[in-house]
Amino acid sequence: MTVSNIITVSRIFLAPVFVALIVLCDGMGDMRTAALIGAWVVYVLIELSDLADGFLARLLKQESELGRVLDPFADSLSRLSCFLAFTFVKIMPLWLFIIVLYRDLWVALLRTLMAKKGKLQGARLSGKIKAWVYAITNIAALGAFTTARVLPQTLIHDILFILCLICFGCVVIVALWSGLDYSIMLFSRKNAKNFTGGS
């Protein structure tokens, strides 16, 4: 396995660690601060690994079909895991998490259908924008979660909470747009015959 793929796989294992730190945070008593710091460290590692694996794959000329499959899977798993954690602690609304979950499952299905026809679909612009919006939203949510437990009823917490609401709105918009964009592209006239087998 290449270095870039190892970094990608590490993101898959870091995701449940982040969830555990967030979910268990309030039950850790005196260890709460350590859990919050750990959650921030793990989240930063998740995002850095997302930047590093693609960069190293190109730099070391290690781009592979396995990497093209692993990377979007690791991205989806890690960000969905973060959103799941924030849904559990009531930072993110459940209905919003369901929209994001269904969008990712739908796009994963479309990618699978394309792969069965011998075509691996790379990330589209809408997907890249979605990734940045999701990352910023997770940072805002983590900030709101942290201040709610360290600096409750303060201006900074109120600002982060409002920022979270704005980010959640952006998440809904970009998730629906990205899902529609992938659907239109994959079911366009030139690709339709790949799914139907028609000529």
Amino acid at 188: S
Mean pLDDT of 144-150: 90
Specify the pLDDT at position 168: 94
Secondary element (H or E) of residue 99: helix 94-116
Any residues with CB less than 8 A from the CB of 87 and at least 6 apart, and which? 93, 94, 96, 97
pLDDT in tens, 107-132: 888 877 777 776 656 667 888 899 89
First and final C-alpha spacing in the chain: 39
Q: Is the pLDDT of residue 68 over 50?
A: yes
The string of DSSP codes covering 5-52 is HHHHHHHHHHHHHHHHHHHHGGGSGGGHHHHHHHHHHHHHHHHHHHHH
Higher pLDDT, 72 or 97: 97
* Main-chain dihedrals φ then ψ at residue 60, nearest 5 degrees: -90, 5
Q: Is the pLDDT of residue 195 over 50?
A: no
pLDDT tier for residue 196 given thresholds of 50, 70 and 90: very low
C-alpha 155/C-alpha 151 separation (Å) is: 9
C-alpha 91/C-alpha 145 separation (Å) is: 7
- CATH number for the domain formed by residue range(s) 3-188: 1.20.120
pLDDT in tens, 25-65: 877 777 888 999 999 999 999 999 988 888 888 888 877 77
Q: What is the mean pLDDT of the chain?
A: 85
C-alpha 49/C-alpha 11 separation (Å) is: 7
C-alpha 161/C-alpha 177 separation (Å) is: 24
The single residue listed with the structure tokens 């079911």 is 187
Specify the pLDDT at position 72: 84
The string of DSSP codes covering 39-70 is HHHHHHHHHHHHHHHHHHHHHTT---HHHHHH
C-alpha 104/C-alpha 102 separation (Å) is: 5
pLDDT tier for residue 91 given thresholds of 50, 70 and 90: very high
C-alpha 9/C-alpha 4 separation (Å) is: 9
Higher pLDDT, 19 or 196: 19
Produce one character per residue of 109-132: b if its CB has 16 or more CB atoms within 10 Å, e if not: ebbebbeeeeeebebeebbeebbe
Mean pLDDT of 70-85: 91
Specify the pLDDT at position 189: 46
Q: How far is CA 116 from the centre of its chain?
A: 24
Specify the pLDDT at position 123: 66
